[in-house]
Amino acid sequence: MAERVSLALNTTTTTMASSLRTQVSASRLLRFSSSGSKLSFPSSSLSFTRSLVSSPLLSQKRCQAALVNRSFSSAATTHCTAATDPEQLKSAREDIKELLNTKFCHPILVRLGWHDAGTYNKNISEWPQRGGANGSLRYEIELKHAANAGLVNALNLIKHIKDMYSGISYADLFQLASATAIEEAGGPKIPMKYGRVDTSGPHECPEEGRLPDAGPPSPANHLREVFYRMGLDDKDIVALSGAHTLGRSRPERSGWGKPETKYTKEGPGAPGGQSWTPEWLKFDNSYFTEIKEKRDEDLLVLPTDAAIFEDPSFKVYAEKYAADQDAFFKDYAESHAKLSNLGAKFNPPEGTCDF
């Protein structure tokens, strides 16, 4: 697979690259420290479950998460963060690209942005009670939600980037990481905007139960219930489902999938899990072609995946995307951008255009 980049780097090249990154990081820190902006973190501890859906809490992982939190958050946040610094966004994007190239973490960064935004309820007008892309996912009470289990790893991965760029809100950083991961995996350019304001504390987190489940009794109805609540439609549901072309499901976390397959036993990254597609770090339309054919037992098909070819309305879009990758990319980019803005409060109100 083209994406399985060798990790055996020349020692001299690695040393030179590390030195260069250190110099660049120091330069950025000096440049941005002159603005006088200060970095603030949430006051609550991060505590996580290991289950994506319904696995029991693992005390060992809660202890690990608590240790992570002591390094990730150290001071109380007393105000909402205002506008994000565009120059810092540009530099942070380059650091995210480097992270993706070395850690192969595209899927979990996509999930981080989606789960922060996916709590939006169009029937609630008040911010931040309506949920959405507001950075609240960094707080313990929301991270304990079963659907958010494992996202401690995503927060660990971007911690050093948040440390460097205090002029970027958590809400913007989560969405920047998600969109960049799609693009760097070969997906379409996402028409993003920035300037999302952060929530001020855990009391502003949404209640549990707003995110989709993988195996509900009526998969198509469940998907509509969740995504219609966000103001999205059938096209959005099917297009966004196509992001499962990236990533794996691990049974020890979610209760779904195999411990390993011929596609995942050697990584890249930590080996194991079951993927939806053979090249699970490549963004293309293979999710639709593989789900349609259902020929390979080493590839995962969740009940909600099967629903997109079983429900008559969903199937129209699924068939279209299986046959036409360009059509999928176009619709996916629109739906991803729409999702990333749900519930957000921007400063300035119109947001800052992508760069």
Q: What is the value of pTM for the model shown? A: 0.78
CA atoms of 250 and 53, how far apart (whole Å):
11
State percent of the chain over pLDDT 70: 76
Task: Over range 48-62, report the average pLDDT.
Answer: 35
Number of domains in the chain: 2
Residue 55, in any domain of the structure: no
The answer to whether residues 153 and 177 belong to one domain is yes
282 and 174 share a domain?
no
Backbone φ and ψ of 236, nearest 5°: -60, -45
Same domain for 143 and 98, yes or no, is yes
Angle between helices 303-310 and 219-229 (to 10 degrees): 90
Q: Residue 161 is encoded by which pair of tokens? A: 């980037």
Same domain, 231 and 145: no
Q: What share of the chain is helix, strand, coil (3-state, %, to 5)?
A: 50, 5, 45
Q: What is the residue range of 346's domain?
A: 84-207+340-351
Structural domain contains residue 33:
no
On whether both 95 and 185 belong to a single domain, the answer is yes
Nearest to 262 by CA among 247, 239, 279: 279
| Residues 180, 94 within the same domain | yes
Residues 346 and 199 in one domain: yes
Helix (H) or strand (E) holding 77: none
Residue 159 to residues 46, 164, 262, 354, Cα–Cα distance (Å): 13, 9, 32, 22
> Which residues fall within 8 angstroms of residue 241, CB to CB, at 6 or more apart?
287, 304, 305, 308
Give mean pLDDT, residues 327-339: 98
pLDDT top residue among 64 and 120: 120
Task: Give domain status of residue 32, yes or no.
Answer: no
Give CA separation, 324 vs 224, 250, 314, 331, in Å: 24, 30, 16, 11
Answer yes or no: is 290 within a domain.
yes
Query: According to the model, what pLDDT value does residue 163 have?
Result: 95
Examine the domain organization and report whether 329 and 347 are in the same domain.
Answer: no
pLDDT-based confidence at 269, cuts 50/70/90?
Answer: confident
Stated length of the chain: 355
CATH of the domain at 161: 1.10.520.10
Output DSSP code: residue 264.
T
Residue 261's domain is classified under what CATH number? 1.10.420.10
Per-residue pLDDT, averaged over 277-296, amounts to: 96
Residues 196 and 346 sit within 8 Å (Cβ to Cβ): yes
Instruction: Indicate whether 74 belongs to any domain.
Output: no
> Quick one: pLDDT at residue 31?
41
Evaluate whether residue 110 is within a structural domain.
yes
Question: What mean pLDDT is predicted for residues 296-316?
Answer: 96
pLDDT in tens, 144-180: 899 998 898 999 999 999 999 999 999 999 999 999 9
DSSP H or E segment with residue 74: none
Tokens read off for 51: 């289950």
Are 266 and 307 members of one domain? yes
Mean residue pLDDT of the chain comes to 82
| Bond into 219 cis (ω within 30) | no
Q: What is the pLDDT of residues 234-251, one digit of tens each?
A: 999 999 999 999 999 988
Which residue in the list 79, 106, 115, 222 is annotated as catalytic?
115
Same domain, yes or no, for 346 and 326? no
Average pLDDT on 297-321 reads 97
Q: In this predicted structure, what is the pLDDT of residue 83?
A: 58
- Enter the DSSP assignment of 46: P
- What percent of the chain lies above the pLDDT cut of 90? 67
DSSP 126-160: STTTT-SSSSGGGSHHHHTSGGGTTTHHHHHHHHH
pLDDT at 355: 65
Q: Is there a contact between 128 and 121 (Cβ–Cβ < 8 Å)? A: no
Least confident residue range of 31-45, 95-109, 120-134, 156-170: 31-45
| 115 catalytically annotated | yes
Burial class (CB in 10 A: 0-12, 13-18, 19+), 7: exposed
Q: Write the CB contacts of 9 (distance below 8 Å, at least 6 apart in sequence).
A: none
Residues 100 and 151 in one domain: yes
Q: Count Cβ neighbours within 10 Å for each residue of 293-332 and write b for 16 or more, e otherwise.
A: eeeeeebbbbbbbebbbebeebbebbebbbeebeebbebb
pLDDT digits (tens, 9 = 90+) for 81-116: 345 888 999 999 999 999 999 999 999 999 999 999
Determine, yes or no, domain membership for 41: no
Confidence of residue 344 (pLDDT cuts 50, 70, 90): very high
pLDDT tens figures, 252-267: 778 899 999 999 999 8
Which of 183-197, 256-270, 323-337 is the least confident region? Answer: 256-270
Do 222 and 203 sit in the same domain of this protein?
no
Residue 234 domain flag? yes
Sign of the torsion angle spanned by Cα atoms 299, 301, 305, 310: positive
Region 31-41: what's the mean pLDDT? 38
